[in-house]
Every structure is written in structure tokens, then in C-alpha cells.
Copies of this chain bind each other. A is one copy, B any other.
């Protein structure tokens, strides 16, 4: 599993993400997420990404899967603005700006080149590539709109603030003198104008791995639909799989499968069976909070038959470490 992690000033816009209780904490979320993946809980990061209602970051679920079945993990610094004690691959990527500025990402082409070189050297037969970037569904909406693709994105909030995101994207396109669809066939311009630095990182690693005949699964929901669209608009026509959670599918309905069909991607949806566990963390996911992120859906797709209950058991242990007991935040 390769996990690009980054931040943008877009993520600080009020009301677009649940990935952090307040804007000033949002920037810390990816640094905390990757510490949870690496060590089992935040270590240096001063925040624990748990919502007031007791919903933990999807990093908790990905970590629980890792503790049960084990898999190699490499976190890529795709623009972290805050320090992390987790080990990260350094590709020299800077945090993104606010999409409402003229330039959201400086030189996506250079990021893609470095990420593609990195991806092409990985010896694995198959890769899962995930992401953690607050505000990532807004930048996903941004690039999908710029590319002229049907633009439906998910949310980490139970009530998707889609109107708010659309207004941000309209403003972002205007600031870059672009109309919807202007970037068809030109994905790098779309990222520079209205994207985030995690997108060209995932895109480059995927392209490099595909160059090396490695099977690539994009681990995520609508953000990974956006990356798949970027790859297709870049002329990459190799097979791609998107692996996400049942929570994203429930929200997106038929649009998710339609988007995958349109982009010629296989779709794998995994339901972790959180329904009758009687634990607040799992109940919050069933209520539509968080839904996906930090490669959660991809990690769940790796769990062999009969082992999902062990993952749920382990998730309770991870939640204990994050200060969530069965009834809520301790």
C-alpha cells in the first residue's frame, strides 16, 4: 500500500470537510493519520482525528486491517504542512494553495514526473494507492468539472455540503479563467488550476506502476474517480480498479458504477459489516460519517473471507487507543 498524504489551503475552507474539528486542526489530520497507520495511534501530531460524535478517521480502520492481515506500507509526503513522526517518502512536494486562487498546485507536471519515476521502480505485482488530504472531495469536484466529466463527489459529512463545494469550484474555475470542460485532455492544467498535490502524486505513482506492468488499485471513493479521470485524460488506458467502501456506494447510488464504467475502471465495493456491532465508531460509519479515506475501502478489500469479524474486533482496540470506547469519546 502506498499512501500519499498532503494538505491544501482548500481544506481550510469552512464547512467542506469533517476531517478535523476546526480549520487550524484540519492541517494536522493527515500527519496524524499516517502516524496511526505507522504506529497505531498519533505520536507527534497534536490531534486525534475523531469527530465529536465519536467517529474515528478512516485511518483507524486501515490500521485495524493492517494489524490483522499485515501488508507493506509506504507513506509518501504529498504536501504535508505539519510535521509527522511517521516515516515518509520525500518527493519534494509542497502543500497546495486554495483553489480559489489562480494557481492551486505549482507544477503538477513535475510532481507527476517524480511520482511516476518512483512508481515505476516498485517491485510489487500489485499496488493499492490511497490518499489522505482534507478538502479532497472539493478538489476532486474541481478537476472533474474542469475535465468536463460528470461531477458527483462524496463527503465526510453525513449531509454532503455539495452546494458549498460547487460554489467553491465555480469561484476556483473563474479565478483561473476556466469554464467547465476547458481542461478536457489536459489534466495537468486542471490540477494546477483547481486540484491538489495529492492528485498528481497518486496519478504519477499509478502511471509509473502501470508502466512496469504492476496491477493498480486506486483505494478510495469519488476522489479516486477523479484520479482515474485524470489518468484517462492523460491517455493512460491500462486497466484500473477502484476499491471503496459500501458507505460511499450507499451515498452515490448508481452514479459510482456509472462513473467507473465511463472511465473503464473495475469497481470493488466492500461492506465491513459494521451494522450490528453496537460500537459507536462503527455506528457512525453506518450513519454516513467519514465513509472512506486513508485507503479504507482498499484495505477492506484485502480482508479474506471469514476475517472481517477479526478486523472489527481489532478496530475496537484501535479505537480504545484513540480514546473512543463502545459508547463514545471517553
Please give the residue numbers on chain A whose beta carbons come within 8 Å of chain B beta carbons, in ascending order. 38-41, 43-44, 70, 72, 74-76, 85-90, 118, 121-124, 321
Contacts and interface: CB of A to CB of B under 8 A. Distances in A.
A39 B74 CA distance: 9
B39 A124 contact: yes
21 contacts: A38-B72, A39-B72, A39-B74, A39-B123, A39-B124, A40-B72, A40-B123, A40-B124, A43-B118, A43-B121, A44-B118, A44-B121, A70-B70, A74-B86, A75-B87, A76-B87, A87-B88, A87-B89, A88-B88, A90-B90, A123-B321
A89 B86 contact: yes
A41 B74 contact: no
A123 B89 CA distance: 22
Count of this chain's copies in the oligomeric assembly: 2
Contacts of A70: 70
B74 A121 contact: no
B41 A123 contact: yes
A40 B87 CA distance: 17
A89 B83 CA distance: 10
B118 A85 contact: yes
Contacts of A123: 39-41, 43, 321
A267 to B, nearest CB: 28
